[in-house]
A and B are shown apart, each in its own frame.
Chain A
C-alpha cells in the first residue's frame, strides 16, 4: 500500500471498518508513516502532566477538603444484605414454629398377613384395623421384582 494513498484515504474518505483497520495497521507498522507522526513520548513532553502539578492547590474548596468521609450513609448494597438477612430470619422462625407444633400421631393398628406358600410368594391381607376401626389396604407394586408395598388408610364413614 502506498503511504501517500494511505494518508489520503485515512483523512479524506469515509471508510468501512475493515479498511480502516488495514490502514491503521499500515500506519502502525510502516516506518515511513510512523516517521511522519510524532510519537507519544514526544507529545507528552509538549504538554502538562499530573506530575508537573504536584504543587497546585486542590480544586475543591477547603471546606470539602481532602478528608475521607467521616459520616457516611449506609452503602446501597448493605440494604439488600439487611433485607436478605431479615427474610432468612423470618423464614427460620416460621420453620421453627411449624416444628414446635406436635405432628399428628401415626395411628397404630393391627395387620394380619397370611403368606400362602413361601415359594409362590403370594400373600393376602385378611384383616386390617387402625385402632378400633377397620382400615383399607392399598397395594403398590413399584416394578421391582419381589417387592410390594402395602399401606393402610382409615376408611371413611
Chain B
C-alpha cells in the first residue's frame, strides 16, 4: 500500500492508515520541533499536536502536494505558536517573579530560555530558526518556507541569509 492509498484511507477516517502514513515521517517532525524548541518534552508535545491537527485537517490536504512537507509545515507553525506563548509568559514572569517566588530575586536559570543544550540554533529568532531548520534539515525551498511562515518569498530568503550569517558569527565566536 503506497502513500497515496494511505492518504485516501486516512481521509476517510481510518486511524490505522494515518498511523501507517505518519510512521515514516514522525522522526523528521520530531527533529524539526526539537531544533525549534530545544527541549525534548516540549518538542514531543508540539509534534503530537501537529499530528492531531494534521489528522483533523487531512480532508483539506491537496493530494498534489508532498505530504511530509505539509506535515512539517504544520509542525513549524505549532512550534512558532509555542515560542510566542513562551515569550509572552516569560515577559509576564519576569515582571511578577518577585511576588510569585515569595519576594526573592528571580533566578536567571528560571527565566532564561533554555540554553542548557548549548545549541546555537536556539539563539536565532523563532522565524529565522524555523526557516533555517526547514531549509537545511528538510529541503524546503524559499517559496515553501514563505508559504509555511505566511510571509513573502523574499522575506524567507532574508531569514535564511540572516540565520546563516548569525550562525557563522556564533560559531566563530565560540571557537
Contacts and interface: CB of A to CB of B under 8 A. Distances in A.
Classify the secondary structure of B's interface with A.
helix
Interface residues of A, number: 41
Nearest to A14: B154
B51 A46 contact: no
A20 B157 contact: yes
Contacts, number: 120
Given A11-B162, A48-B34, A60-B51, A75 B5 contact: yes
Given A20-B154, A68-B1, A44 B136 contact: yes
B9 A49 contact: no
Contacts of A46: 119-121, 167
Interface in A12-59: 14-15, 17, 20, 24, 27, 36-38, 40, 42-44, 46-50, 52-54, 56, 58-59
B145 interface: no
A53 B30 contact: yes
Classify the secondary structure of A's interface with B.
loop
B158 A11 contact: yes
Interface of B: 1, 5-6, 8-9, 11-20, 22-23, 26-31, 34-35, 44, 47-48, 51, 119-121, 132-133, 136-137, 154, 157-158, 161-162, 164-165, 167-168, 171
Given A37-B167, A73-B14, 4 more contacts: A49-B31, A56-B27, A72-B16, A75-B9
Interface of A: 7, 10-11, 14-15, 17, 20, 24, 27, 36-38, 40, 42-44, 46-50, 52-54, 56, 58-60, 64-73, 75-77
